[in-house]
Chain A
Amino acid sequence: MSVLIQNLVRCAPGTRKRLLNDVSLDVPTGAFVALVGPSGAGKTTLLRAIAGLDTCESGSLLLDGQKVENMQDRARKIGFVFQNYALFPHMTVARNISFGLDVQPRAMRPSQGEIATRVQELLDLMQLPDMGKAYPARLSGGQRQRVALARALATGPGLLLLDEPFGALDPIVRRTIRSWLRSLHDRLGLTTILVTHDQEEALEVADRIVVMQQGSIMQDASPEELDKEPATAFVMEFLGESATFHGVVQDGWFTPKEDGVLPFAVAAEIAPGPADAMIRPFEITIASADLVQGQTVPISSQGVRNGYRHYLARLKDRTIAVHIPDYTGENVLSESHGVLDISRARLFRDGKRYS
């Protein structure tokens, strides 16, 4: 099911502070979209607005090109998984899952037998075939997560909304349930919108990442594009560890303010003036002091992790982390001084991407 959001505005109750500030988003059928951003960015607010849990001051929301006013109609189209699962503690797992079917008006409700079959199907799908009679209190976190998912899927919705679904799980369960969720999405042909504050999780599982900050969408792109072409300094910073170098663009060159960092050539059309160069630790290389002119800085080795040699370059006022792939054989271990080459950096001016 497709979701089309146009100019959505929601204010905090009783105030004029905007929780959602003119948000527009187009999610086509079959997409897997992750909403990411720091706490308070408005991710959950947007998800709740899509689900119809909160009303908005202005803007429109279309599901499959249509306005849905009635909550009961909406319920059949949307499955929602809460951050803390929100299972009904006084019902068995089976009753929890069948709840959405049990509350349907008599004329539409499937028979008891059909409901039981549907519940068993979902339990099998969630890999919990024998858990139907248990109460939620007896389940582990990962199992509760899957029961919540089964409950959300019981009415056969086309749209699945997940609010921080992996937040309370331990790292190993998290990883398996993540890839399992992705395969479920593909198998059932769902449209999924997931909220997470973990950018790595988002990059791994989603086709599209929507980065939010202070109630606005900062960038909406594929993981690859986001990595290559972050729209703002915030997006760059949010997506992973990065270092910022202040400097000046002049005559087609970016010259960093600090000593020990090499200038690099930039596109000729960039207007001269101050700019920031942002780069990830694994994009920095260390040039040997013999080959280049300029002030060198001390460099110390921090060992090897995940296939990268970690170094700390000591600039005048701060240290910069540098990661170099272990297999390159560029062994700088013996050298205690070098110059940083940041020519793969992205340029930003006033927080906006420049080149």
Chain B
Amino acid sequence: MKTYILWVVSWAVIAIVLLMPPAVVVSEALKNGIGPALETLKDPDGIAAIWLTLEVSVVSVAVNTMFGVLAAWLLTKYRFPGRSALLVLVELPLSISPVVSGLVWLLLFGAQGWWGQALEQAGIHVAFAVPGIMLATLFVTLPYVVRTLVPLMEQQGRDAEEAAMLAGAGFWQILWRVTLPGARVALFSGILLTTARAMGEFGAVSVVSGHIPGLTETMPLHIESLYNGYQTVAAFTMATLLAAMAMSAVLLRSVPEWITRWREKQA
């Protein structure tokens, strides 16, 4: 009886908090049927927003994965002065409000910012342009790869790498063949969290973007514009698409585990 009640309560919470919001989004999008919903996606500003979101995600994932792996390597395999400070610093973007993360870039690169004037004269636009959006997204997604890799690599220790070194492997061979495959589950998880966050980031991007439709609007910003312009169907269709993209990224997270399990069954 007790387990039954627990079961009902937990499913009720999950249904209200987790399942209902996406369900509402989808039903709002489809309230005039699937045809009109798809029609809204043909809007050129919408397509531009989708492309910009994909571009920003790809760049943040690539940059943060590369530096995340190197930073995690450095933080776990070596002991150097300032190591613990660096570990805390890496988490900074998680604790700062996204709005502040966006404002930082305006203060640096905006027209009244420290370097804004100089860059303006050189013809480089950061604030209210794509580079600003990239910077803001890079900043908020920086911790994910490092934070998922560090605990695992810490626990793995240096033994496997030293064994590889003594077998004659060079630095890159060790990284590619031993360190990263050993940490692949954590790495994949970090990459997908980065992807999901990069796609969905609103606050930081909103501050630096300037909301120029077709130029500096990512999907979340475009959704807000549409909603504020009473284009409900278009807003919710875009929201459905964004949610589906982010969710498929999270679902992909479990793929390596399935593969490992399948391979073990085969062996």
Residues of A within 8 A of B (CB): 13, 51, 53, 71-72, 74-76, 78-80, 82, 84, 86-92, 99-100, 102-104, 133-135, 138, 151, 154-155
The closest CB in chain B to the CB of A99 belongs to B167
**CB contact under 8 A between A88 and B168, given known A80-B163, A82-B162, A134-B267:** no
Task: Report, as a range, how many residues of chain B touch the other chain.
Answer: 20 to 34
The 10 closest A-B pairs by CB, nearest first: A75-B168, A100-B167, A86-B159, A86-B163, A103-B169, A80-B166, A90-B181, A103-B173, A72-B168, A99-B167
Q: B167, B173, B181, B267: which has the most chain A beta carbons within 10 Å?
A: B167
Q: B170 and A88: CB pair below 8 A?
A: no
> Does A88 contact B267, Cβ atoms closer than 8 Å?
no
- B167 contact set on A, CB distance < 8 A: 75, 99-100, 103, 151, 154-155
Complex A-B: 19 CB contacts under 8 Å: A71-B168, A75-B167, A80-B166, A82-B163, A87-B160, A88-B160, A88-B164, A88-B178, A90-B184, A91-B181, A99-B169, A99-B177, A100-B168, A102-B177, A103-B169, A104-B168, A133-B267, A138-B267, A154-B167
Given contacts A90-B182, A90-B184, contact A84 B159 (CB under 8 A): yes
CB within 8 Å for A71 and B267 given contacts A86-B159, A89-B182: no
CB within 8 Å of A: which of B141-190?
Answer: 159-160, 162-170, 173, 177-178, 181-182, 184
Q: What is the CA–CA distance of A72 and B174 in the complex, to the nearest angstrom?
A: 13
Closest beta carbon of chain B to A192's beta carbon, Å:
15
- Give the nearest-CB partner of B182 in chain A: A90
Q: Which residues of A contact B173 (CB under 8 A)?
A: 103
Q: Within residues 70 to 88 of chain B, which ones have a CB less than 8 A from any CB in chain A? A: 79
The residue in B159, B164, B168, B173 that gathers the most chain A C-beta atoms within 10 A of its C-beta is: B168
Instruction: Collect the chain B residues with CB atoms within 8 Å of residue A13's CB.
Output: 79
- What is the CA–CA distance of A267 and B36 in the complex, to the nearest angstrom? 112
Contact A51 B166 (CB under 8 A): yes
Q: How far is the CB of A83 from chain B (nearest CB, A)?
A: 8
Most chain B beta carbons < 10 A, residue from A51, A84, A90, A134? A90
CA distance A80 to B160 in the complex (A): 12
Task: List 15 extra interface pairs beyond A82-B162, A103-B169, CB under 8 A.
Answer: A51-B166, A53-B162, A71-B168, A82-B163, A87-B160, A88-B163, A88-B182, A90-B184, A103-B168, A103-B173, A134-B267, A135-B264, A151-B167, A155-B167, A155-B168
Closest-CB distance, A93 to chain B (whole angstroms): 10
| Among candidates B79, B160, B168, residue contacting A86 with C-beta atoms closer than 8 Å | B160
Q: How far is the CA of A79 from the CA of B197 in the complex (A)?
A: 46
Closest beta carbon of chain A to B7's beta carbon, Å: 34
Question: Are A76 and B160 interface neighbours, CB within 8 A?
Answer: no
C-alpha gap A86/B163 in the complex (Å) = 7
* Smallest Cβ-Cβ distance to B161: which chain A residue: A86
Give Cα A302 to B39, complex, Å: 96
Instruction: Please judge, given known A-B contacts A53-B166, A75-B166, A75-B168, whether A103 and B177 are in contact too, CB under 8 Å.
Output: yes
Nearest residue in B to A133 (C-beta to C-beta)? B267
How far does the Cβ of B181 sit from chain A's closest Cβ, in whole Å? 5
Chain B residues closer than 8 Å to A51, beta-carbon distance: 166
Smallest CB gap from B159: residue in A: A86
Contact B267 A103 (CB under 8 A): no
Q: Which residue on chain B has the smallest CB distance to residue A91?
A: B181
**Chain B residues whose C-beta falls within 8 Å of the C-beta of A75 in the assembled complex:** 165-169
With A89-B182, A134-B267 known to touch, is A71 a contact of B162 (CB < 8 Å)?
no
A53–B159 touching, CB < 8 Å = no
A355 CB to nearest chain B CB (Å): 45
Cα distance A162–B79 in the bound complex, in angstroms: 27
Contact A103 B170 (CB under 8 A): yes
Q: Which residues of B contact A99 (CB under 8 A)?
A: 164, 167, 169, 177
Q: From B160, which residue of chain A is reached at the shortest CB distance?
A: A86
A102: chain B residues within 8 A (beta carbon): 177
For residue A63, give the distance in angstroms from its CB to the closest CB of chain B: 14
Min distance, Cβ A313 to any Cβ of chain B, angstroms: 48
Q: Return chain B residues, CB-CB under 8 Å to A72.
A: 168, 170
B190 CB to nearest chain A CB (Å): 17
Please name all residues of chain A whose beta carbon is closer than 8 Å to the beta carbon of B264 when the two chains form the complex. 135
In the complex, what distance in Å separates the CA atom of A55 from the CA atom of B167? 18
The smallest beta-carbon distance between A247 and chain B, in angstroms, is 50
Set of chain B residues within 8 Å of A87, measured between Cβ atoms: 160, 163
> B166: which A residues are within 8 A, CB to CB?
51, 53, 74-75, 78-80
User: Which one of A80, A99, A138, A151 has the greatest number of beta carbons of chain B within 10 Å?
Assistant: A99
